[in-house]
Every structure is written in C-alpha cells, then in structure tokens.
Amino acid sequence: MTNPEVGMLMLGLFIFVILLGFPIAFTLIAMGIFFGYFAMGTRIFDLLVTNTADVMQNDVLTAVPLFLFMGYVIERSNILDRLFHSIQMAAKNLPGSLAVATLITCALFATATGIVGAVVTLMGLLAFPAMLRAGYDTRLAAGVVCAGGCLGIMIPPSVLLILYGATTGTSVVKLYAAAFLPGFLLAGLYVVYVMARAIINPKLAPKPPELDKPLPLGEVIWAMLTSFFPLFILIMAVLGAILFGLATPTEAAAVGCAGALLLAACYRALTFERLKEATYLTARTSAMVCYLFIGSWTFSSVFSYLGGHEVIEAWVKSLELSPTMFLILAQLIIFLLGWPLEWTEIIIIFVPIFLPLLKAFNIDPIIFGILVALNIQTSFNTPPMAMAAYYLKGIAPPHVKLTEIFAGALPFVFLVFITMAVVYIFPEIALWLPQKLYGN
Amino acid sequence: MVGFLLFIDRLSAGVGKAFGWCMIILVFGTCYEVFMRYVLRAPTNWAFDMAYTMYGALFLMAGAYTLSRNGHVRGDVLYRLLPTRMQAAMDLALYILFFFPGFLALLVYGYPYAMTSFMIREVSIYSPAGQPIWPLKALIPLGALFMLIQGLAEAIRCVIALRDGAWPQRLQDVEELESAILADEEARARLAEQQVASGAAR
C-alpha cells in the first residue's frame, strides 16, 4: 500500500469508528498515533506532545473559555424574562408582535450566550406558551423559537467563528466583521417573514389581549432601559472593541465576562452557587472543545504527512467542477454531516479537509466560513437530528407534536438557504465591513 | 466497586473544578491589563502569558472531569439506539484499543518533554517578563495521568454494565441548563402519569 492509500484508510477507519459512538477526540488521537507510528515511527509521540503544548498556548483559543463563561453567566442572570417582556411591549404595534418580540429576544440573548440548547429551552418555556395562549399557530410559534435560538452561533461574537479562525488560520477579527451583516440579514429575514405571514393571515398570529390596551410610553422606555439596553450595550461594547481593534477577542471577552458578572449582580442573580455552576460548565465545555483540537491537529498532521490531502485534492480536481459547483458540493457535504455530528466536530475536523481545496478553487476562506456558519444553523432544525426541535418538544405542552415543530422550522431553514445564496452571489455583504475597517 | 468508581470521579472532578477557577484569574487578570493599558497607559508585560497559561491549564486539567461526566462529545446517532450491553462491549474494546495507548503516549513522552523544559528553566518567548513555561508543560503528563485514571474507571464501568445490563451511577453535578430543564420536565410528566394511574386505580 502506498502512503496516500494508507491516508485514505485512516480517514475511512476514522469515520467508521465515529459511527460506533466512541468519543471523537480520543478516536482522533488514536488514529493519529497508530498511522503516525506507521509513517514516522516514535516521532509521532513527540508530535502528539508538542501538539498538546501548542493547543495549550494558542492565543486564539484562549478566547473560547471566556466567551463560554460570559454565556453561562448571562444565561443564569434572570435577564431573559424582563428582556422578553420589555421587547414585547416595545413591539406591540407590529404585526405578529409576539413572534417578532420572540425573534428579537432570541437574537439578542443567543448572541450574548451562544448556547443554542439553553436559548431554545428557556424561550420554549417563556415565549412558546405565551404565543400559544394568545392563539398563535403552533407551527409558526415553534418555528420562531427554534430558528431564533440558533442565531447565536452565527452572529458575532460567536464561539463558532473563533474555532473556525483557529482551524483555518483566518483572522477572527475579520471573520467577526464579515459575519456581522449576514447575521443581521438572516435575523431581519426571519422578522420580515413572520410579519408577512401575520399580515397575510392575521389569524396565525393574533395580538394578545393584555397588550391591546395603550401603554404609557415612559413605562416602555423604563422597561427597555433596564433590560434590553444593558445587554445590548454589553454585546456592542465587546464586539466594537474587537472590530475597531481596541482589544483582542480574548481581552474583549474578558471585559465582557466582567460586564456579565456586573449585570448578574444588578439583577440580584450573582450567587456563589451560580458562579460555581458557570465556572464548572466552562471548564467542561472548554475541555471538550480543546481536546478535539489536540486530536484534530495530530490527526491532520499525520493525514497530510501521508499525502491524504493531495489525494482528495487530485480527486476533486478530476471532477472538473466549477468553483460554484465545488462550493455547493462542499456545503452539501457539511449540511449532511450535520446529521451525525455536532457543529464543533464539523468545524474542527472536516473544515481542514476542505481548506487546501479553497485555494485551488480560488474561494475566500472568510466567505466560506460565513457560509459554513449559516449552513450549520440548519443542522439544528432539519430532521432527523434536529436538536432545537427536540429541545422544544421536551418542554412543550404534550399536545404539540414533533412533526408540527419540524414543519414550523422548515420555512426558516429555507430562509437560511436564501441567505446563503444571497451572500454567495453578493459577497460584498460579508466582505464590505472587513474591507472598510481593515482594507485589503 | 461502585465506591471506588465514585472515588475516582470525585478525584477527577476535584482536580477539574480546582483548575476551573483559573477562569476567574483569566477574567480579572485580563481586565486589569485592559485597564492598565487604556486608563493608565501602562500595559503589563505578563498579561499575555498569564492568559494562555490559565486557559491551557484550565482545559487540560478539566479533561478527566469532563470524561467523568461523559462529556467528551460522541457521534452517537447509532450508539444511543443500541442496548446497554452492546454499548458497553464496544466502549470497553475501544477504550483498550484507542484510549489507553494515546494517553499513555502523552504520559510517557510528555514527562521528558516537561523535564527538559524544567532543566533548562525555559521561559516564555512572548514577553520580557520571563514567565517560566515548564509548569504549563508539566501539566501535560499530569493531565494524561488523570485521564488514564478516569479512563480506567470508565473501562470498569463498561465491565459492570456488561455484567448487569445497566450503567452504574455517576456523581450528581451541575448540568447544562437545557439538560436540567428537560430532566425536570420529564420528572414532572412521570409524576403526573403516576397520579393519573393511582387515581384510576382508586
């Protein structure tokens, strides 16, 4: 067997073992050292150790635990009820006001926490029953919660883009700048879609009776000042500091953590118990993500040593695809990978396989990253492994069927595809802001 | 035996949680640097090294804790549908074949790597503060050791599950909010069902 063939065997065996359900980080490390021992003898063990040390000293990944911690603190800060209530009051004159308020709350809260499951379950307990009580169509209400809850992995500052930056060597700052407008475009499309549905058929989204009475403007402003604006300003400060180059993502995230702790203290939610919870969850999630990096770097250095990347590159080139065809194929593969895998593994393990091909097809890795981030939104909402739908089903009243949730989320999945197409056709949407801020 | 397993769980959790508090140093150390740089115009020369050191120590030493919570992500689409004994048999084989060699290598080769760094009193190349780098490198074999101990506990769990047809218990610990909420809902639904059932019996 030639080396590249061994490389292909390595990849095939890895995919097989993943399907057996063994922890992926360990599978990657094992494949790396077995095949590495075959290829380069005991030097592979030194490589494993230096890779571990490199992951530990990676200054891009340093931001990961910080953003996770900020998310866990905000998640536990009792802000969500107030936030939803005040946005509901502010949006009350819009068509489909409750659904619009849900989307905006989701977008803001998800951006701040970045934890999909938590946003969907919390909003599923808060906004979903409120919409059903008001007489909303079950499907529409379910779709709004599922789609809105996933926005946080796309809209910066998101952990997904940090991992993508660390994997591909792309600047996280540029990725954040590039993701800004597409993220808002997607959220905006969601809102427009919901309002359009509500205008065409008001029965789908009736106005809740308790909001039909006029509210004193002062009350609305006060509610917004004490819930919406603190969180909004916190996110914008973190993001602004990063985008305008005032601070590295790590520094901005650390200040964001301090801000989140302050916010939690103001809402009287900062107990030692909650601080412990946030700290321990951060430690566990960081370990999960970063051990994947140790495995992935070891695996892919052996894979490319064996010449595996060249085989894939030669094979893809032999297909004689146009760049557009290649991009569609790549996105389709990532879409399908969303079924057995979670987004962390897709970004850390499979994106490096596509990476050398991007250069061959002359595709900007930043645009590719934005498309991947959009694409991964759908993996939470497409059956059979629609995690967002399962979370909602788990907490929804028993009469809500899983199929109704799937059906409700489907239009939003199409909106994601539309956004991907728009960003591909008009890459300026993503690239304008980074070019404006940093030149070429 | 279960007592022994829970002892190992507690050990891993203790280590992981202790290093988890690096988080607080990371947050406030970095905030201090930002404050010094922008307000007092006197940036520190240690903050950069401090940041990655805290992050590296935090995640590496939480590895065994995460393993004790079954928190290392699996592609479990098929796995979760399998009967417990089948899961245990596969896991046991894969722990022996795939887990132990990797972390044994990290332990055996990590030790001289850290020793060399210690012998030459290696310092960080990123700043003039001269922060020693060997403590961070020393964590590599140490972290691997804790991983191996916890991996042994996981392998024993597989053996017990093979024998009993059910996974042995784990320690109670904080869970992700969505898992906690979903578990609550399930418990409530079960309680309601029982009440209905007992009402029907009456």
Give the distance, in angstroms, between the CA of residue A287 and the centroid of all CA atoms in the same chain.
18
- Burial class (CB within 10 angstroms; exposed 0-12, middle 13-18, buried 19+) of B89: middle
> What DSSP string runs through A367-407?
HHHHHHHHHHHHHTTSSSS-HHHHHHHHHS-TTS-HHHHHH
- Tens digit of each residue's pLDDT (9 = 90 or more) over A252-271: 999 999 999 999 998 888 88
pLDDT over 60 (residue B202): no
Mean pLDDT of chain A: 87
The answer to whether the Cβ–Cβ distance between A75 and B177 falls below 8 Å is: yes
Q: What percent of chain B is predicted at pLDDT more than 90? A: 36
- Tens digit of each residue's pLDDT (9 = 90 or more) over A72-108: 898 888 888 888 888 888 888 888 888 999 999 998 8
What is the predicted ipTM?
0.89
Among A22, A66, A385, the residue with its CB nearest the CB of B26 is A66
**Angle at which helices A172-200 and A159-168 cross, to 10°:** 140
Cβ of B155 under 8 Å from any chain A Cβ? Answer: no
**Which of residues 179 through 238 in chain A touch B, CB cutoff 8 A?**
none
Residues of A in contact with B76 (CB under 8 A): 21
Identify the CA nearest to A160 among candidates A252, A87, A75, A63: A63
> Residue A338: closest CA among chain B residues belongs to which residue?
B75
Identify the CA nearest to A141 among candidates A87, A99, A192: A99
User: How many residues does the structure list for chain B?
Assistant: 202
Cβ of A62 under 8 Å from any chain B Cβ? Answer: yes
Residue A389: the pLDDT is 87
Cβ of B88 under 8 Å from any chain A Cβ? Answer: no
- Rg of the Cα atoms in chain B: 23
Mean pLDDT of chain B: 86
Residue B201: the pLDDT is 58
pLDDT over 70 (residue A178): yes
SS3 state at A89? helix
Residues in a beta bridge with B123: B132
Q: Which of B17, B50, B98, B118 to mutate to test the interface with A (most CBs of A within 10 A)?
A: B98
pLDDT band at A430 (very low <50, low <70, confident <90, very high): confident
Element (DSSP H or E) covering residue B92 = helix B84-94
Q: What gap in Å lies between CA A376 and CA A345, rounded to an integer?
A: 11
Identify the CA nearest to B83 among candidates A207, A280, A127, A21: A21
Cβ of A269 under 8 Å from any chain B Cβ? Answer: no
> What DSSP string runs through A222-236?
HHHHHHHHHHHHHHH
Residue A322: the pLDDT is 86
Q: How far is B120 from chain A (nearest CA, A)?
A: 17
Identify the CA nearest to A109 among candidates A228, A237, A281, A275: A228
Q: What gap in Å lies between CA B177 and CA A280, rounded to an integer?
A: 13
b vs e for A282-316, b when ≥16 Cβ sit within 10 Å of the residue's Cβ? bbbbbbbbbbbbbbbbbbbbbbebbbbbebbbeeb
Among A117, A341, A344, the residue with its CB nearest the CB of B176 is A117
End-to-end CA separation in angstroms for chain B: 43
End-to-end CA separation in angstroms for chain A: 45
The residue whose two tokens read 């891993």 is: B12
Residue A143: the pLDDT is 92
SS3 state at A22? coil
Q: How far is A149 from chain B (nearest CA, A)?
A: 12
Residues of B in contact with A76 (CB under 8 A): 177
pLDDT over 80 (residue A116): no
SS3 state at B123? strand
- Tens digit of each residue's pLDDT (9 = 90 or more) over B6-56: 888 899 999 999 999 999 999 999 999 888 888 888 888 888 888 889 999
> What DSSP string runs through B127-192?
-TT--B-HHHHHHHHHHHHHHHHHHHHHHHHHHHHHHHSSPPP-------HHHHHHHHHHHHHHHH
- Tens digit of each residue's pLDDT (9 = 90 or more) over B43-89: 888 888 888 899 999 999 999 999 988 888 887 778 888 888 888 99
Q: Which of A20, A38, A77, A293 to mutate to test the interface with B (most CBs of B within 10 A)?
A: A20
A292: left (phi over 0), alpha (psi -120 to 50) or beta: alpha
Residue A360: the pLDDT is 83
Q: How far is B8 from chain A (nearest CA, A)?
A: 17
Residues of A in contact with B87 (CB under 8 A): 21
Which residues make Cβ contacts (< 8 Å) with residue A422, sequence separation at least 6?
A185, A429
> Residue B77: closest CA among chain A residues belongs to which residue?
A340
The answer to whether the Cβ–Cβ distance between B87 and A21 falls below 8 Å is: yes
Residue pair A265/A79 in contact (Cβ under 8 Å)? The answer is no
Residue A258: the pLDDT is 92
Residue A440: the pLDDT is 62
Cβ of B39 under 8 Å from any chain A Cβ? Answer: no
Cβ of A288 under 8 Å from any chain B Cβ? Answer: yes
